Amino acid sequence: MKVGSNINLAAQLLAQGKLVAIPTETVYGLAANAFNANAVAHIYTVKKRPQFNPLIIHSNTIEKFINWGITFNKDALKLAEAFMPGPITLVLPTSENIPQIVNAGHSAVAIRIPNHPLTLELLALIDFPVAAPSANPSGYVSPTNAQHVLNQLENEVDYILDGGPCNVGLESTIISFADPTPKLLRYGGLAIELIENVLHKKLDKGAIINNDDPMAPGMLSKHYATKTPLVLGQISNYLKIYNPKDIGTICFNKPFDIIPENQQLVLAPDGSLETAATNLFAAMRMADNLNVKIIIAEPLPNQGLGLAINDRLKRASAGN
Ligand code: TXA
Ligand code: MG
């Protein structure tokens, strides 16, 4: 059986250089032993990911990263102590222990402690970090349950550790300490307001880029894309162009009149941005399986996790 909750088996496979999909609170990751360059190379092949796009390494304690030679400055340590384990990734000066294929030869490496009980237990069993991008083919929507991984990568992974649905549902927020001033590289599952409160300063957001800069390819404008074209905007505007039966929607807290209700995905009937984040990627996959010509997503309030949700929807809609 490829899917299960056997952490000893997962640890053994990782030690052998195999690929294991792991649950995290954000999205499922496609993990390999980060100290094994061949195993890491296999991740790029399976995901069809450009080799210039660096990977995040995961472990269960700050001390392990320090022992592997990664250095935290004062602010980075503050964030690590406040939010790890949790949906945040820190980009820090790398160490010679990390094979260059992991971070695509950059002078910094991304580190994360995922907050998922099963994966924390697994990471405690092993004495190496795991490199893990989201467990989806490059460019498609990230997986938030084991079935999503099975649907797309069944033949490519050696084991899927099933930890249930991801409760945050958006990838980690990425903060770079590659330069002295902290920079936000990706909106994600930890609201930036909380991070700024701990740092007592505003983050530099100038590094969030929308072009094809190879420094942070997760920032490529087209990303997280459904196969059915998705647009972000007011649903009423598209009713002039499309027949209601050809429209699928992703709405915030209530469905839109006129469009058949079974073609509408409501992210958060309770109106909470956390609920919307948890449901977003599964809703995008469901919308992609409707027999419609266009998916219209309604922008969410631009605060807290709404910023990250709108960011993902914007990237999914790029060029449409
Ligand atoms: O929540 C997450 O972060 C999930 C789970 C599995 O941990 N992982 C994830 O990985 O989203 P991935 O590979 O899909 O996205 C990682 C992002 C990419 O945009 C990559 O460019 C950026 O992190 N990144 C990784 N290392 C970097 C580095 N050294 N400098 C700048 N950006 C980096
Ligand atoms: Mg990804």
Q: What is the pLDDT of residues 111-136, one digit of tens each?
A: 999 999 999 999 999 999 999 999 99
User: What confidence tens digit (pLDDT) does each residue in 36-73 have?
Assistant: 999 999 999 999 998 889 999 999 999 999 999 999 99
How many Cβ atoms sit within 10 Å of the Cβ of residue 71?
13
Task: Say if ligand 1 is within 6 A of residue 133 CB.
Answer: yes
Q: What is the mean pLDDT of residues 242-262?
A: 96
pLDDT digits 0-9 by tens, 285-311: 999 999 999 999 999 999 999 999 999
pLDDT at 214 over 50: no
Q: Structure pTM?
A: 0.96
What order of strands is seen across the sheet that includes strand 230-232?
Answer: 230-232, 294-297, 247-251, 264-266
Which protein residues have their CB within 5 A of the ion that is ligand 2? Answer: 134
Question: Mutate which of 174, 223, 280, 311 to test ligand 1's pocket (most atoms within 8 Å of Cβ)?
Answer: 174
Find out whether 279 and 273 touch, Cβ atoms under 8 Å: no
Ligand 1 binding pocket includes 114 (Cβ within 6 Å)? yes
Ligand 1 atom nearest to 172, measured from its CA: 1
Pick from 5, 36, 3: which is nearest to 18 by CA? 36
Between these two residues, 207 and 120, which has the higher pLDDT value?
120
**Predicted pLDDT at 180:** 80
Output phi, psi for 290, to 5 deg.
-80, 155
Checking if the pLDDT of 273 tops 60, the result is yes
